[in-house]
């Protein structure tokens, strides 16, 4: 693969490592000064850690700064960590979690422009060109997905179909009638779209790219959706705390890790227990510092996402921004059964490799008298038996969970993020 020439901002997307580091150093100094002088919570956090803005002179100094996590954001609800006057805030979005105090992310005009810039790069990286039809299926509401896809599509000068979630039959009709070239959504909706196409014997002849995110995305599931849609599938990354979908980056046509937009974010991989930095290639917790956001720039934010840095070399696509591995799972998602630590993504990866297994599954943790067992429900074709599934999971996980096979279409679906793990 060679340079595909499909950039939104070619100069910065192909900048040298030295240019990126220099830009990060300048922006880190500026953002640290901004949060310290603008918000008393940040100021107390820095003072308690014994660091002041003048101590930060280069990108390497990021390690002098204190770590922050989601609890700090929740404790500051609704806008306690905001670093601009309220009359400068133009928009807000909120974390989609169903438990605990939500996290609110405010946006200034400049923040919305930054979000649009990052998302537009993702669209171009997926091969979009001016005027291409993009169908946006995430919810347009407090969840950031719909609006993030929209802001980026405007910046990339695409033809926007703001469909929102659900009503898959209508989604397919719209895509066929309006010649949708790019389809966006949460991972589980990509699965649903694929299933309905297969059930109805239809296809999307103009579709060339699917951009999916918001959920852990195994390579096996990615391949399955790609085959089912007849389109190249991309894994997009971003979160409420970094400013929304696409702000951190996406994989490129080389599909060798997720490019991180380093002119806007510094990323570190730390040992989750010691908080010490890990070498490239070692898996740990992703920690993010936002360099260009105004209203609420996170500083050394512990994402709880597990990944590693794959490479800092120029990619086959021509981009120079470092690549991280697709997210393995979250620290708070890790399951421990029979002395074995594992993540839901490992179960998904195993199920998708079983010929005839469907894309919908459930992981049920059952506890009785203090003893935990894991049960895996999966849809599959008639020839796939429970013993086949259990044996495959044992080979992958090191213990044999209960496995139950259901006919295709029998397990419940959700229009938004799929719930995969249940406790009983």
Q: What is the 3-state secondary structure (H, E, C) of 184-243?
A: EEEHHHHHHHHHHHHHHCCCCCCCCEEEEECCCCCHHHHHHHHHHHCCEEEEEEEEHHHC
> Do 326 and 354 sit in the same domain of this protein?
no
Tokens standing for residue 293: 């956001």
Of 297, 331, 365, at which residue does a domain stop? 331
- The burial class, CB within 10 Å (0-12 / 13-18 / 19+), for 339 is exposed
Same domain membership, residue 253 and residue 372: no
Judged by average pLDDT, the poorest of 15-29, 141-155, 324-338, 386-400 is 324-338
Cα atoms in the 13 Å half-sphere on the side-chain side of 278: 22
CA gap 171, 167 in Å, rounded: 6
End-to-end CA distance of the chain: 49
Q: Pick the residue with more confidence: 215 or 13?
A: 13
Residue 366 has a pLDDT of: 81
In a domain, 122, yes or no: yes
CATH number of domain containing 136: 3.40.50.12780
How confident is residue 338, by pLDDT bands cut at 50, 70 and 90? low
38 contacts 106 by C-beta, under 8 angstroms: no
The confidence score (pLDDT) of residue 161 equals 98
In a domain, 80, yes or no: no
- Domain range for 338 is 334-423
Q: Name the domain boundary from 309, 331, 353.
A: 331
Is 268 a domain residue?
A: yes
Confidence of residue 405 (pLDDT cuts 50, 70, 90): very high
Task: Say if residue 301 is in the same domain as residue 280.
Answer: yes
For residue 120, give the 3-state DSSP assignment: helix
Last residue of a domain, one of 300, 331, 362: 331
Lowest average pLDDT, out of 156-165, 237-246, 369-378, 387-396, goes to 369-378
How many domains does the chain fold into? 2
> Is 29 part of a structural domain of the chain?
no
| Residue 396 pLDDT greater than 80, yes or no | yes
Order of strands across the sheet that contains 284-290: 265-270, 284-290, 301-307, 329-330
Residue 402 included in any domain:
yes
The model's confidence at residue 328, banded by pLDDT at 50, 70 and 90, is confident
Does residue 214 sit in the same domain as residue 126?
yes
Q: What is the pLDDT of residue 3?
A: 43
71, part of any domain: no
Q: How far apart are CA 186 and CA 183, in angstroms?
A: 10
Q: Is residue 82 part of a domain?
A: no
What's the average model confidence in pLDDT over 328-336?
A: 76
Residues 319 and 378 in one domain: no
**Do 372 and 292 sit in the same domain of this protein?**
no
In this structure, of 184-193, 208-217, 223-232, 407-416, the range with the lowest mean pLDDT score is 407-416
Residues 254 and 349 in one domain: no
Provide the mean pLDDT of the chain.
Answer: 92
pLDDT digits (tens, 9 = 90+) for 103-150: 999 999 999 999 999 999 999 999 999 999 999 999 999 999 999 999
Structure tokens at 330: 């979250």
Q: What is the pLDDT of residue 418?
A: 75
pLDDT of residue 324: 98
- Report the alpha-carbon distance of residue 226 to residue 234 in Å, rounded: 9
Give tens-digit pLDDT for 190-203. 989 999 999 999 99
Q: 339 pLDDT exceeds 70?
A: no
Residue 89 CB contacts under 8 Å (≥ 6 apart), including other chains: 79, 82, 106, 107, 108, 295
In a domain, 418, yes or no: yes
- Kindly report the CATH number assigned to the domain that includes residue 339: 3.30.300.30
Q: What predicted TM-score, i.e. pTM, was given to this entire model? A: 0.84
- The tokens describing 392, both together, are 């495959």
- In terms of domains, do 166 and 314 share one? yes
Residue 422: pLDDT above 50? yes
Residues 287, 394 within the same domain: no
For range 289-303, the mean pLDDT: 98
Query: Are 322 and 396 contained in the same domain?
Result: no
Same domain, 178 and 224: yes
| Range of weakest confidence among 102-111, 166-175, 329-338, 403-412 | 329-338
| pLDDT band of 79, cuts 50, 70, 90 | very high
User: Within this chain, do residues 376 and 294 fall inside the same structural domain, yes or no?
Assistant: no
């Amino acid at each position: 693969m060679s340079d595909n020439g499909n950039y939104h901002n070619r100069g910065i997307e192909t900048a040298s490592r030295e240019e990126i580091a220099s830009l990060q150093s300048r922006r880190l100094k500026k953002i640290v000064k901004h949060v310290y002088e603008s918000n008393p919570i940040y100021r107390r956090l820095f003072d308690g850690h014994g660091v002041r803005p003048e101590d930060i002179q280069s990108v390497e100094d990021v390690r002098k700064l204190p770590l922050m996590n989601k609890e700090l954001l929740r404790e500051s609800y609704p806008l306690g960590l905001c670093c601009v006057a309220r009359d400068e805030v133009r928009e807000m979005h909120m974390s989609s979690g169903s438990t605990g105090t939500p996290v609110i992310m405010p946006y200034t005009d400049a923040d919305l422009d930054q979000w649009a810039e990052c998302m537009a790069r993702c669209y171009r990286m997926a091969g979009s060109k001016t005027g291409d039809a993009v169908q946006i299926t995430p919810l347009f509401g407090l969840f950031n997905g719909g609006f993030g896809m929209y802001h980026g599509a405007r910046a990339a000068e695409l033809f926007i179909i703001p469909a929102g979630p659900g009503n898959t039959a209508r989604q397919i009709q719209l895509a066929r009638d309006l010649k949708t070239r790019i389809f966006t959504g949460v991972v589980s909706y990509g699965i649903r779209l694929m299933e309905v196409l297969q059930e109805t014997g239809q296809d999307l002849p103009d579709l060339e790219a699917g951009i999916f995110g918001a959920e852990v995305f195994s390579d096996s599931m990615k391949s399955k959706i790609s085959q089912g849609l007849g389109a190249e599938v991309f894994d997009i990354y971003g979160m409420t705390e970094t400013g929304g979908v696409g702000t951190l980056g996406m994989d490129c046509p080389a599909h060798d890790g997720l490019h991180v937009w380093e002119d806007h974010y510094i990323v570190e991989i730390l040992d989750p227990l010691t908080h010490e930095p890990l070498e490239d290639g070692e898996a740990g917790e992703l920690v993010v510092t936002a360099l260009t956001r105004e209203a609420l720039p996170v500083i050394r934010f512990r994402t709880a996402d597990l990944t590693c840095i794959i490479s800092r070399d120029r990619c086959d696509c021509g981009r120079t921004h470092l690549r991280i591995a697709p997210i393995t799972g979250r620290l708070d998602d890790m399951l421990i059964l029979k002395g074995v630590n594992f993540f839901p993504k490992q179960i998904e990866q195993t199920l998708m490799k079983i010929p005839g297994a469907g894309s919908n599954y459930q992981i049920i943790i059952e506890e009785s008298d203090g003893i935990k067992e894991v049960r895996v429900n999966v849809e599959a074709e008639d020839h796939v038996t429970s013993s086949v599934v259990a044996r495959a999971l044992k080979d992958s996980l090191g213990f044999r969970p209960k496995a139950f096979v259901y006919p295709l279409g029998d397990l419940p679906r959700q229009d938004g993020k799929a719930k995969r793990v249940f406790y009983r």
